[in-house]
A and B are shown apart, each in its own frame.
Chain A
Amino acid sequence: MLNKEKTNHQPLSHLDWLESEAIYILREVAGQCSNPVLLFSGGKDSLCILRLAEKAFRPGRFPFPLMHIDTGHNYQEVIDFRDQRAAELGERLIVRSVEDSMKRGTVVLKSADESRNKHQSVTLLEAIEEFGFDCCIGGARRDEEKARAKERIMSFRDEFGQWDPKNQRPELWSLYNARSHKGENIRAFPISNWTEMDVWQYIEREKLQLPSIYFAHQRDVVMRSGSIVPVNVPLVNGEVTNPVKAGEEIINMQVRFRTVGDISCTAPVISDADTVSKIVLETATSTITERGATRLDDQTSDASMEQRKKEGYF
């Protein structure tokens, strides 16, 4: 296990600096919070955080469990990957599902095919209460969306899980304040300062495994309001989601996903990048932002992300 050797003379590269900062943040959470949890979706950002947690805490165990808030509308490949990764790490994985919240009546969909992404907030808050978590570690980045540009590394949420942009703690130097009273909650973002490019470069450098849907593959899609929408997607529970609508033509296309979320709101992009290094190149030459291309739920209005965050969304 302890076999590599290295000496250091150069100033840190930007990836080393970002890695060190993220490890520092994870350790601050462990040092300051009594019952934290790491939110893990199987997506690329949370996979980076798992690697960072290994570097932060091995040879010890992680001082927090992993938790996934499952919308029930996730790609099978991602769910399988999630379970496999947690098992490899030997860490505890908690899964709480939006469908259970629906059964309890705490989540009510306007229509059956409505995106369940925003309803994750309800299930997340229920899980926080169930386990008494005082801090949730997440993979959000400031470059994702402009409402995130002012997000803190340690972001304070009140008893209702709400983010009040005007009532956030000033964050100076690396002196993070993760204190909370009972019922309140801190959201900690160790890769706040990373960009999509940094994430891919880190995945490449650390040779991280990813769910297959991040790589170019053939998929049945339709064009809907200018976006590529995957159709007839089989779900984990055996149902099929995103049926084709009348008048739509199914096209079999080579695509990959730049983000992985609820099936109903995550669109793939046309791509032939089937390796991490090709994705790094593609990211460097991309002319569309990550969320712009792929997150159908952010395009609703200029302020839609800010609104969802105020309601307790990650």
Chain B
Amino acid sequence: MSNVTKQHNDSLLRFMTCGSVDDGKSTLIGRLLFDTKTILADTLTQISNTSKKRGMEAVDLSLLTDGLQAEREQGITIDVAYRYFSTGTRKYIIADAPGHEQYTRNMVTAASTANLAIILIDARRGVLTQTRRHSYLAHLVGIQHIVVAVNKMDLVNYDQATYDKICADYLTFANEIGFAQARDIKFLPMSALAGDMLVDRLDNMPWYTGETLLEILESAPAAHTEGDEEFRFPVQFVCRPHASADADLHDFRGFMGRIESGNIAVGDAVTVLPNGYQSKVKAIQIGDEQLRSAQTEQSVTLLLEDEIDTSRGDMIVKTGSSIEPVKQIEAFVCWLSETPLSPARTYVIRHTTRESKAKVGTIAYKVDVNTLEEQATSDLKMNDIARITFKLAQPLMVDSYSANRATGAFIVIDESTNNTVGAGMIV
């Protein structure tokens, strides 16, 4: 119980799980929720009744993540689900996405907000095509921390040699795609079914002395805590209460937004893009609270020394920062819509809080997510990933996705339906 109050000051980690139902992914999540006491009695009764109805002897923890009626009828998972648990020292948000090939778009969606990915491997089957696909997608979407969880160790008699071979196979593949150097990769053996090496360490694998899954999660760095990022502040909303009864507020002009990266302090010299106006930070506020400085992920209101005409979609950066408005971008794009990309059409690109009309320039190639081969293509269908250039009607202030996940990302919108049809990561 001492953890309850302590938790006020503890951080948050978003992670995703990659694997199919066959790898025990649902059991893994169910087990994490169960062993961290997140599952309460009435939910347990509900799934225990369902387990019995389906003729199972033990409670099937995978039922915990079994979402919608439509999916239950078809026995599949069709979308990303979000689950929550807390250990008392950290709050976790799990993005649970189905892992089959036709669900590449769901994996990309789940990965976009995750800082860590658990890649599940069935110990009996080793590194498979899908393992490569999951690893490539996690890599593409910029997840820094990878946990390769060799599951179902109970079905290979908790054999160390089997585990070692899978780890070696994975590293060989990871080196081939340049993944091992770029990412923090951890391995662990486990049995989600038996609950071994997730939260609890049982006696089955005395040869493994590394961290349990929960220990890995507890010590994983939170987003934005590694490396220096430049200050990026897309303006969301401009507050001008000039009609207020309070005369002091008639000249108030607050630029509201979230700091997507970096930090800012009162007195810092800033430039507002795309126009390039320069000023200094006069004040930083959250509601009625005054801050001397603010950091990444905080939603604040910035007041500047000078009266500058700024609106939603502009970006405030530190003066001298290496970012320029551009009217053409090159990106890896994952197509999300059942309607294929049409190079003849005009789309809308939303980047930070800014929008621009956009037309496809060239499609360099598409990537086979299983073999990672580059293939020439002239079209893009749902779940395809391709390297594309877009010509823009309005300038955007972009960074490369590898340098900044917030200012390197965009979505493509089809104006006729207003659907989100593509997800882009700027090269």
Contacts and interface: CB of A to CB of B under 8 A. Distances in A.
Contacts of B46: 302
Contacts of A306: 68-69
Nearest to B288: A1
B286 interface: yes
Interface in A32-71: 54-61, 63
A4 interface: yes
A27 B256 contact: yes
Interface in B54-99: 65-70, 72, 78-84, 86, 90-91, 93
B105 A284 contact: no
B78 A13 contact: no
Residue in B9, B91, B249, B423 whose Cβ sees the most chain A Cβ within 10 Å: B91
A175 B8 contact: no
Interface in A196-232: 197-198, 201, 205
B50 to A, nearest CB: 8
Q: Which residue of A30, A174, A181 has the most chain B CB atoms within 10 A of its CB atom?
A: A174
B178 to A, nearest CB: 24
Contacts of B225: 11
Contacts of A302: 46, 50, 69
A173 to B, nearest CB: 5
A175 B418 contact: no
B236 A13 contact: no
Contacts of A201: 7-8
B331 interface: no
Contact of A55 (B254, B258, B287, B336): B287
B298 A165 contact: no
Given A61-B241, A166-B78, A288 B42 contact: yes
Interface stretch (A95-103, A119-127, A142-150, A238-246): A142-150
- Residues of A contacting B: mostly: loop
B239 interface: yes
A15 B410 contact: no
Interface string A274-303: 000000110011111100110000000011
A151 to B, nearest CB: 9
A146 B67 contact: yes
Interface residues of A, number: 77
B4 A281 contact: yes
Given A28-B236, A165-B68, A56 B256 contact: yes
A171 interface: yes
A67 to B, nearest CB: 21
Contact of A7 (B67, B86, B291, B420): B291
A8 B40 contact: no
A193 B287 CA distance: 21
B79 A172 contact: no
Nearest to B11: A11
A288 B41 contact: yes
Contacts of B244: 59-61
Contacts of A170: 105-106, 109, 336, 420, 423
B239 A59 contact: yes
A165 B70 CA distance: 9
A179 interface: yes
A143 B84 contact: yes
B68 A150 contact: yes
Interface string A303-314: 100110000000
B288 A2 contact: yes
Interface stretch (A16-24, A78-86, A247-255, A265-273): A16-24
Given A173-B405, A175-B411, A27 B113 contact: no
Contacts of B297: 12, 17, 20
Nearest to B77: A150
Given A17-B297, A165-B79, A177 B4 contact: no
A59 B409 contact: no
Given A14-B11, A59-B241, A59-B244, A150 B81 contact: yes
Nearest to B285: A2
Nearest to A6: B291
B226 to A, nearest CB: 11
A135 to B, nearest CB: 13
B111 to A, nearest CB: 9
A195 B350 CA distance: 30
A141 to B, nearest CB: 9
Given A24-B258, A57-B239, A7 B293 contact: yes
Contacts of B336: 170
B358 to A, nearest CB: 14
Nearest to B265: A7
A5 B299 contact: no
A24 B8 contact: no
Interface in B388-423: 405-406, 409-411, 413, 418-420, 423
Contacts of B168: none
Contact of B290 (A3, A15, A57): A3
Contact of B108 (A57, A146, A172, A293): A172
Given A4-B290, A293-B42, A172 B409 contact: yes
B326 to A, nearest CB: 18
Contacts of A6: 289-292
Nearest first, the 3 A-B pairs at minimum CB distance are: A292-B42, A55-B287, A23-B299
Given A13-B10, A170-B109, A179-B418, 6 more contacts: A3-B288, A61-B241, A61-B244, A168-B79, A281-B4, A292-B42
Interface of A: 1-21, 23-24, 27-28, 30-31, 54-61, 63, 142-143, 146-147, 149-150, 165-166, 168-175, 177, 179-181, 192-193, 195, 197-198, 201, 205, 280-281, 284-289, 292-293, 302-303, 306-307
14 contacts: A4-B288, A13-B8, A17-B11, A27-B237, A28-B236, A30-B237, A170-B105, A170-B336, A172-B411, A177-B419, A281-B1, A281-B4, A292-B42, A303-B72
Interface of B: 1, 4-5, 7-12, 40-43, 46, 50, 65-70, 72, 78-84, 86, 90-91, 93, 105-106, 108-109, 112-113, 222, 224-225, 236-237, 239-241, 244, 246, 249, 252, 254, 256-258, 263, 285-295, 297-299, 312, 336, 350-353, 405-406, 409-411, 413, 418-420, 423
